[in-house]
Amino acid sequence: MVEIRMRVNGVSESLDVPPWVSLLDVLREHLGLTGTKRGCDQGACGACTVLVDGERINACLALAVQYTGRDITTIEGVAGGGDPHPLQTAFIRDDGFQCGYCTSGQICSAIGMLAEHGAGSASAVTEHVAATGIALSGAEIRERMSGNLCRCGAYNGIVRAIQDVAESPR
Amino acid sequence: MTMTERPPRTAPAGPSVGRPIDRVDGPAKTTGAARYSAEYPYPDLTHAALTHATIARGRITGIDTAEADAVPGVLAVITHRNAPAMRPAPSFSMLDLSTFASGTSVNYLGTDEVHWNGQPMAVVVAETRDAALRAAALVRLSYEELPATVDFAGAEKDARPQKNSALQSGGATKGDAEAALAAAPVSVDLRFTTPPHHHNAIEPHSTTAAWDGDRLTVHDGTQNISWLRRHLALRFGVRAQNIRVIAPYVGGAFGGKTMVWAGTLLTVLAARVTGRPVRMMLTREGVYRTVGGRTPSTQRVALGAGRNGRLTALIHTSVTQVGRVGGGPEQVTSQSRHLYDVPNILLQQNLTELDALSNTVMRAPGESIGTFALETAVDELAGELGLDPIEFRMRNEPERNPIDGKRFAHRMLREAYALGAERFGWADRTPRPGSMRDGRWLVGMGVASAYHPSWQFAANVTVRLSADGRVLVRCGFHEMGMGGATAQAQIAADALGVPFEAVRVEYGDSTLPTGPGAGGSGQTASVAASLLTACDKLKGSVLALAGRSRESPLRGRRSSTLEARDGGLWTGPAGESYATILARAGRDSVEAAVGSDTRLGAMTGQLRFMSKFMLDRRRWVKAACGAQFCEVRVDPVTGEVRVSRWTGVFDVGTVINAKTAASQLRGGIVMGIGMALTEETLVDPRSGRIMNPGLAEYHVPVHADIPPLDVHYLDEPDPTMPLGLIGVGEVGITGAAAAIANAVHHATGRRVRDLPITLDKLL
């Protein structure tokens, strides 16, 4: 057993787990935060996407012990001060989901993606990678969100929701 | 039993019906609060995992569980040597449709026989999921292997004609299609193949089961609560009333959660053996090994036409696969009965049996792959005739159902094409293949027809109106992304004349009145029909209450003259609120029910459903249809195909919720894009083992593959359906692959008749 301490959604957590336990299992099985979903356990679907110090990762491929001392945000923690995160509101308005199973991952991924874009990182479809102020077109959003599968096919709504939030003044 | 039926219910869109209202479960699904089947906490919970056979056919000669038993935390390794017997799977009966629920006929862990590569041969129960998975991998099986037929391509020659059943016929003929084909001045005679597909709902099949004596609680993301409950009762020898199935959220299904598969049964079995609650979430690979997928197919489509562009012959035959242990025919030729006015038609579906896991229903079983072949062949013949493919279709658009002359309940395919062509800009297309370019990209435009029959099943519903004006609708239907609770709340709100916000809908639980299964795009219509009747009954009861008082302006009024609005009943300016009526009568609430869950009630409901089904079939042909328009860009160097634009115009009757209906149609198109370009389950032809059982190797469409999809519906009610609505869950996938294949041909001049259209096929 290994002791791990991490902040999850602003709460300090400390628990003893075997060293092979994934961050996904810590969240779902040990902390009861079932909003983070298991879809493939292979990093292929993105349903388990969470934020670590603001960066998006697949929790199924992360060993929990590697994240000692880090700040984890799950779907249960993205809302601020009682108000839903603007993406949560936009997903509902733009119908960015059907069954809802990939939704937590899509929203966490979108938050991380918008931060990456804001920090100036380029994507595979960025025409001039050295450019600053890359416009967040539909194609850019689709490319950057392609790690998150939605089998219901709510992609149009998801992209619309992200675009709405990206374009609205914060 | 009388064969009378109520007059069809059609009504214009009301204050709620038709509006793009946000889903009622939106907050739960966007905050992570929605609990799926593996997310219910239980004290003392244990976890289970499966060990799969690695041969296609044979017997187990040895099981070594020593290593598995030694894994810390393991509680039980259950095999056929120590498992308590389950009762055998039931045989099919039209009087009890739950008998269709058996995924396979195998009595898991009740036999040493192996029937397919991947059959579960052991279940490990442990304190943690990690330990269960680790131990399951350490169970050593030895076999006596027997010869097996596992290669669909090799077994195609052994296919036999499918027998007719009450639900589906295996073939049909009209005139002499072969002779007409031979005589036709212009013809095509083509062979198509489609590979197996898997549903790949993002939620893997998950079950949590807890026994309390002879009472069982099951959380399972099923598409048919009633079937699952009755099936479990039968297999475990307990009364159905003792079983509670809870499934308010289903993380995607697409047909894959319709039948009862091994994972569900073995979780319940493991809970009985260990005496503790057990949870099993299948691994992604486990889903491929134990839950059936869409059958592969080979299809022949031969068409003959005169030089005037009128079809004279249509032949559509198919071979699909079933497992020796289960599965059924797909209605691959279904759309070919309905789409074209042809004097000579020959349709024949054939089946070949393999030592493989049962095939099962997957989004538009039959029509999704059947429209690919038919609609590609139609495009080819249009090309041979030198006709625009839309013009060719319009010249052959039937007035009556081609195969038998029945009336169409509703058909607006002409309108769908006209509107689609305008929205899409079809006029900009230059007909010659390879004639359109955008920089280095070859550009192509294609069309195809979409077609899916509409279904309606039995549904029991209760509606309660409270004195405070709130309404509670209860029905054990299923929510796997269709937005069912939202749509039914809209329907109830308008039927009772209350605001949408005043209606709450309970669903997804076997303690509720039995709902229809989620299948055949029939759930919304099925629940709506009963809900409308229940609301009528409820209004009748309220009117009767009002009529008891001399003070009521409704006294002496007949229900047929009443209008439900503003939270009450009115005739012109006279009327009063439900609250006033109930308060005066001293009532907290009034309730109405349609259907009954007593034994007799269930039987009556089933008979009523079957007689309505048969009567409907005799009278008319009901379906959703549509026109799919697609633009692709093909890289001439790499053969890469990108879908760049899409317009789909659908004739789906009245749309209850403009937002969720459009999403369902888009979802179907997205799955159709996957079917056309990337999706393929690869089976090792020597061993029968699926070689790509995961989302890294089976490629479903991702964000980058899907452009904005322009989806439009005609919103004209079908006069034979409740509120005029036709289901929208499946029609979107039909025709989609053909539209893409036709666009690829237009871009490149290459015909690909074998799905998926991968890069190698264009080089």
Q: Where does A2-77 sit in CATH, by number?
A: 3.10.20.30
Chain B CB within 8 Å of residue A162 CB: no
User: Is A83 in a helix, a strand, or coil?
Assistant: strand
Q: Looking at A112-116, B37-41, B216-220, B617-621, which range is the least confident one? A: B617-621
Give me the residues of B, 175-214, that contact A with CB < 8 A: 199-204
CA B61/CA B16 separation, integer angstroms = 63
List all residues 6 or more positions away from B422 whose beta carbon is below 8 Å from its beta carbon: none
Query: Is pLDDT above 60 for B172?
Result: yes
Q: Look up residue A99 and give its two tokens.
A: 């069954």
B36 CB within 8 Å of a chain A CB: yes
What pLDDT score does B11 carry?
A: 46
pLDDT score, position B324: 97
Burial of B73 (0-12, 13-18, 19+ CB in 10 A): middle
What percent of chain B is predicted at pLDDT more than 90? 89
Tell me what pLDDT residue B6 has.
37
Answer yes or no: is pLDDT of B185 > 60.
yes
Query: How close is the nearest chain A Cα to the Cα of B643, in Å?
Result: 13
Chain B hits for A151, Cβ within 8 Å:
199-202, 252, 254, 671, 700
Cα–Cα dist A13/A28, whole Å: 14
Is 80 exceeded by the pLDDT of residue B167?
Answer: no
pLDDT band with cut points at 50, 70 and 90 for residue B105: very high
**What pLDDT is attached to residue B13?**
59
Chain B nearest C-alpha distance from A152 (Å):
5
Give the number of other CB atoms < 10 A from CB of residue B403: 20
Beta bridge partners of B347: B172, B316
d(CA B656, CA B652): 10
Average pLDDT, chain B: 95
- State residue A170's pLDDT score: 59
Quote the pLDDT of residue B416: 98
**Are A92 and B27 a contacting pair at CB < 8 A?**
yes
Percent of chain B topping pLDDT 70: 98
Who among A44, A98, A125 is closest to B694 (CB)? A44
Q: Give B124's strand partners.
A: B49, B77
pLDDT in the model for residue B96: 77
Task: Report the C-alpha gap between B17 and B11 in whole angstroms.
Answer: 10
Q: Are B536 and B527 in contact (CB under 8 A)?
A: no
Q: What pLDDT, on the 0 to 100 scale, is given for residue B264?
A: 98
Q: Which of B375, B479, B576, B730 is catalytic?
A: B730
B26-34+457-610 has CATH 3.30.365.10 classification: yes
Task: Give CA separation, B440 vs A124, B635, B748, in Å.
Answer: 19, 7, 13
CB contact under 8 A, B32 and A159: no
pLDDT tens, residue by residue, B36-50: 999 999 999 999 999
Task: Give, for B347, the enclosing helix (H) or strand (E).
Answer: strand B344-354
From chain B, the residues in CB contact with A15 under 8 A are none
Domain B46-147+199-290 fold is: Aldehyde Oxidoreductase; domain 4 (3.30.365)
Considering CB atoms only, which of A42, A79, A92 is closest to B696?
Answer: A42
Residue B54's pLDDT band (boundaries 50, 70, 90)?
very high
| Gap from B675 CA to chain A (nearest CA, Å) | 12
Interchain contact A88–B (C-beta under 8 A): yes
Cβ separation of B694 and A42 shorter than 8 Å? Answer: yes
Helix axes B523-547, B484-496, angle to 10 degrees: 30
- The answer on pLDDT for B2 being more than 80 is no
Q: Is the pLDDT of residue B94 over 80?
A: no
Mean pLDDT computed over B478-486:
96
- pLDDT tens profile B110-150: 999 999 999 999 999 999 999 999 999 999 999 999 999 99
State whether residue A135 is helix, strand or coil: coil
Nearest C-alpha of chain B: how many angstroms from A102?
Answer: 7
Domain assignments of chain A as residue spans, ordered by start: 2-77, 86-167
List phi, psi (to 5°) of A114.
-65, -35
Instruction: List CB contacts (< 8 A) between A159 and chain B.
Output: 703, 708
CATH of B375-454+622-763, one of 3.30.365.10, 1.10.10.10, 3.40.50.850, 3.30.1330.40: 3.30.365.10
Structure tokens at B311: 């079809």
Q: How would residue B12 be classed by pLDDT, with cut points 50, 70 and 90? A: very low
Instruction: Tell the residue number behind the tokens 């709510």, with chain if given.
Output: A154
Contacts 24+ apart (CB under 8 A), B274-277: B274/B46, B274/B75, B274/B76, B274/B125, B275/B211, B276/B44, B276/B45, B276/B46, B276/B75, B276/B125, B277/B42, B277/B43, B277/B44, B277/B45, B277/B46, B277/B208, B277/B209, B277/B210
Domain range annotation of chain B = 26-34+457-610, 46-147+199-290, 375-454+622-763
In chain B, residues with a C-beta closer than 8 Å to the C-beta of A43 are 696
Grade residue B93 by pLDDT with cuts at 50, 70 and 90: confident
Q: What is the 3-state secondary structure (H, E, C) of B418-450?
A: HHHHHHHCHHHCCCCCCCEEECCEEEEEEEEEE
The pLDDT of B306-324, averaged and rounded, is: 98
Q: Which residues of chain A have pLDDT under 70?
A: 170
DSSP state of B468: T
Interface test with B, best of A25, A155, A162, A165 (most B CBs within 10 A): A155
Distance CA B731, CA B334 (A): 13
CATH superfamily entry for domain A86-167: [2Fe-2S]-binding domain (1.10.150.120)
B730 is catalytic: yes
Q: Which residues of B fall within a CB distance of 8 Å from A154?
A: 663, 666-667
Report the residue count for chain B: 763
List the Cα angle B34/B591/B480 in 5-degree steps. 25
pLDDT at B349 over 70: yes
Q: What is the dihedral of CA B13, B15, B20, B24, to 10 degrees?
A: -120
Closest-CA distance of chain B to residue A70, Å: 21
Q: pLDDT per residue over B537-555, tens digit each?
A: 999 999 999 999 999 999 9
Residue B3, helix vs strand vs coil: coil
pLDDT digits (tens, 9 = 90+) for B494-553: 999 999 999 999 999 999 999 999 998 999 999 999 999 999 999 999 999 999 999 999
Q: What is the C-alpha to C-alpha distance for residues B521 and B625, in angstroms, rounded to an integer?
A: 13
**Spatial separation of the C-alpha atoms in residues A24 and A151, rounded to whole Å:** 21
Contact of A61 with chain B, judged by CB distance below 8 Å, is answered with: no
Looking at residue B619, its pLDDT comes to 86
**How many Å apart are CA B367 and CA B451, to the nearest integer?**
7
Query: B371-375, B376-380, B609-613 — which is least confidently predicted?
Result: B609-613
Closest-approach residue (CA) in chain A for B130: A21
With beta carbons under 8 A apart, name residues in chain A contacting B664. 98
* B216 half-sphere exposure, CB direction, 13 A CA radius: 33
CB neighbours (10 Å) of residue B615?
Answer: 13
Q: What is the arithmetic mean of pLDDT over B99-108?
A: 94
| Record: contact B32-A76, CB cut-off 8 A | yes
Q: What is the pLDDT of residue A25?
A: 97
Q: Per the structure block, which two tokens stand in for B538?
A: 């409820």
Q: Which of A99, A104, A145 to mutate to test the interface with B (most CBs of B within 10 A)?
A: A99
pLDDT in tens, B636-693: 999 999 999 999 999 999 999 999 999 999 999 999 999 999 999 999 999 999 999 9
Q: Kindly tell me if the per-residue pLDDT of B251 is higher than 80.
A: yes
Name the token pair of B137.
Answer: 């991998």
Task: Output the pLDDT for position B598.
Answer: 85
Question: What's CA A107's distance to the chain center, in Å?
Answer: 6
Looking only at the bridges linking them, the beta strands covering B441-453 and B623-634 are antiparallel
Say if A21 is an interface residue toward chain B (CB within 8 Å).
yes
- For residue A69, the distance in angstroms to the closest alpha carbon of chain B comes to 24
Q: Region B440-455: what's the mean pLDDT?
A: 96
